[in-house]
């Protein structure tokens, strides 16, 4: 087993590490100031300017295949880069990204939706969750009824990331009630000017998702993504393929937080000595280090399986579950080590505390990951001995 990065991988990782240190981290005080004032941390133009800077150095479409103008770096490399970006809470991401299921479009859909999304001219969102259907996604009730060459969509979606900014949505609707998720759910590409409305949902995080309303929205038949009735499978693919990316980003956040905790422990004096001298503090640092190391390998292993085109579902669920739980425990310890200051808005710890909480909820809650992991074992789809057998 060889766990070393080759020279090219190191070079790519180090470029991003330097970019984050020089271009992203210096923005933190201003981003924090704006967010505290209820404004977005970065404007769309500022984000674009940063993305253009990265693009000049070749960093564009990290996961996007080269035939679509991306770098096609693969899952392991992308996980390593996400961890680097996660070291800052500044909401930066590289440009040139499109949701994996958009690559399933036909040639015309690729021209109208996929390519403009990659180039940044268009913004998409993915909408399956409804007020009555979250974990139980099969319970969606939004309907699409065929009327000649069109479909008429009615229903409500909720918690849709980028739903306020998007100019088109990949929306999942029931097209055959009898069949339901098993052949009766279809995905439609629906432009905003076809008539759907969005409403921001305030959250405890810094960015808000949206509620979407479809009131007799008419969509041409050719806007079906993939095949009619095969939408549920597409939706599960969208979620399943990139699950490792969420805990990957968290690795960088908790590394940075523990670095802050170490500094604080060395500098803060109580009862005549630095708190770093107390075993209670040392154990919090030690446990965090062990868990970060374990998380790193869980994420890289899941990403490696994706690159090898092996079944990665169990590994991705394990990495997502462990990452969500441990990131939350670690940020809580780091806050504790900072005492009262950790609770204030002078430091960004409380901001990370709120942001990392989401990791235990979206793209499959902790409970749903546990259910998946246990079911895979109980049904024999996964082996308790793991990949090595
Ligand atoms: C900020 C944010 C962004 C999001 N972005 C998107 C997006 O872009 N697109 C999209 O479609 N959705 C999105 N979601 C929705 C997200 O995927 C759902 O919130 C999530 O799947 C949980 O569904 P729910 O909120 O309806 O909770 P529920 O399903 O109602 O669950 C409530 C509680 O019950 C537990 N539970 C449910 N079923 C079981 C079970 N079988 N066994 C044990 N426990 C169970 C859950 O784990 C949870 O603790 C987003 C959510 C948030 C908060």
Domains of the chain: 7-97 (1.10.540.10), 124-235 (2.40.110.10), 242-378 (1.20.140.10)
Mean pLDDT (the chain) is 96
Contacts of residue 330, Cβ cutoff 8 Å, sequence gap at least 6: 254, 257, 258, 288, 291, 292
- Going by C-alpha positions, the residue among 283, 225, 278, 279 that lies closest to residue 258 is 283
Distance of CA 361 from the midpoint of ligand 1 (Å): 6
Question: Is the pLDDT assigned to residue 240 strictly greater than 80?
Answer: no
Ligand 1 centroid vs 357 CA: distance in angstroms? 13
Determine whether the shortest distance from the Cβ of 361 to ligand 1 is under 6 A: yes
Pairwise CA distance, residues 170 & 235, whole Å: 9
Beta bridge partner(s), residue 130 = 133
Q: Which atom of ligand 1 is nearest to the CA of 365?
A: 47
How many angstroms separate the CA atoms of 294 and 298, rounded? 6
324 CA to centre of ligand 1 in angstroms: 14
Nearest CA, atom 27, ligand 1: 134
Which atom of ligand 1 is nearest the CA belonging to 161?
A: 8
The average pLDDT across 259-273 equals: 98
Partnered with residue 170 across adjacent β-strands are: 126, 189
If you average pLDDT over residues 242-261, what whole number do you get? Answer: 97
pLDDT class of 388 with cuts at 50, 70, 90: confident
pLDDT at 242: 87
Tens of pLDDT, residues 90-138: 999 999 999 989 999 999 999 999 999 999 999 999 999 999 999 999 9
Burial 249-282 (b: 16+ CB within 10 A, else e): bbbbbbbbbbebbbebbeeeeeeeeebbeeeebe
Residues in the chain: 389
Residue 121 CB neighbours (<10 A)? 9
Ligand 1 center–CA 360 separation, angstroms: 9
Does 100 contact ligand 1 (Cβ within 6 A)?
Answer: no
Judge if the beta carbon of residue 203 lies within 6 A of ligand 1: yes
pLDDT band at 350; cut points 50, 70, 90: very high
> Could you report the per-residue pLDDT of 135-154, keeping only the tens digit for each?
999 999 999 999 999 999 99
- 12 within 8 A of 73, measured Cβ to Cβ: yes
CA dihedral angle for residue 378, residue 383, residue 307, residue 241, rounded to 10 degrees = 10
pLDDT beyond 90 at 41: yes
Can you give the pLDDT at residue 159?
Answer: 97
**Is residue 134 lining ligand 1, measured as CB closer than 6 Å?**
yes
DSSP characters for 198-223?
Answer: EEE---SSSS--EEEEEEEEEEEGGG
Is the shortest distance between the CB of 99 and ligand 1 below 6 Å?
no
Ligand 1: which of 236, 242, 359, 362 to mutate, most ligand atoms within 8 Å of CB?
Answer: 362
């Amino acid at each position: 087993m060889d766990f070393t990065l080759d020279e090219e991988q190191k070079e790519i990782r180090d470029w991003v590490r330097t970019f984050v240190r020089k271009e992203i981290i210096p923005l933190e005080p201003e981003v924090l100031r704006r967010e505290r004032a209820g404004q977005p941390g970065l404007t769309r133009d500022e984000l674009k300017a940063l993305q253009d800077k990265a693009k000049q150095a070749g960093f564009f479409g990290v996961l996007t295949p080269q035939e679509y103008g991306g770098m096609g770096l693969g899952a392991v490399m992308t996980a390593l880069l996400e961890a680097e970006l996660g070291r800052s809470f500044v909401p930066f991401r590289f440009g040139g990204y499109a949701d994996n299921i958009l690559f399933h479009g036909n040639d015309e859909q690729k021209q109208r939706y996929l390519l403009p999304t990659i180039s940044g001219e268009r913004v998409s969102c993915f909408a399956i969750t409804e007020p009555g259907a979250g974990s139980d996604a099969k319970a969606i009730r939004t309907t699409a009824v065929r009327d000649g060459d069109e479909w008429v969509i009615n229903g409500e979606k909720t918690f849709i990331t980028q739903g306020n900014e998007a100019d088109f949505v990949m929306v999942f609707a029931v097209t055959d009630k009898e069949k339901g998720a098993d052949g009766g759910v279809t995905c439609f590409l629906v432009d905003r000017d076809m008539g759907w409305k969005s409403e921001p949902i305030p959250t405890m995080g810094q960015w808000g998702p949206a509620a979407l309303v479809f009131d007799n929205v008419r969509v041409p038949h050719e806007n079906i993504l993939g095949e009619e009735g095969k939408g549920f499978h597409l939706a599960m693919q969208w979620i399943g393929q990139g699950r490792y990316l969420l805990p990957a980003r968290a690795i960088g956040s908790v590394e940075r937080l523990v670095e802050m905790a170490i500094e604080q422990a060395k500098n803060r004096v109580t009862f005549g000595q630095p708190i770093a001298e107390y075993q209670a503090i040392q154990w919090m640092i030690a446990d965090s280090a062990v868990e970060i190391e374990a998380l790193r390998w869980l994420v890289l292993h899941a990403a490696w399986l994706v690159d090898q085109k092996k079944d990665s579902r169990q590994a991705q669920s394990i990495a997502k579950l462990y990452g969500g739980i441990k990131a939350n425990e670690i940020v809580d310890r780091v806050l504790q080590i900072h005492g009262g200051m950790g609770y204030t808005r002078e430091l960004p710890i409380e901001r990370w505390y709120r942001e990392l909480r989401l990791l235990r909820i979206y793209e499959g809650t902790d409970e749903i990951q546990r259910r998946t992991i246990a079911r895979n074992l109980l049904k024999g789809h996964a082996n308790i001995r793991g990949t090595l057998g």
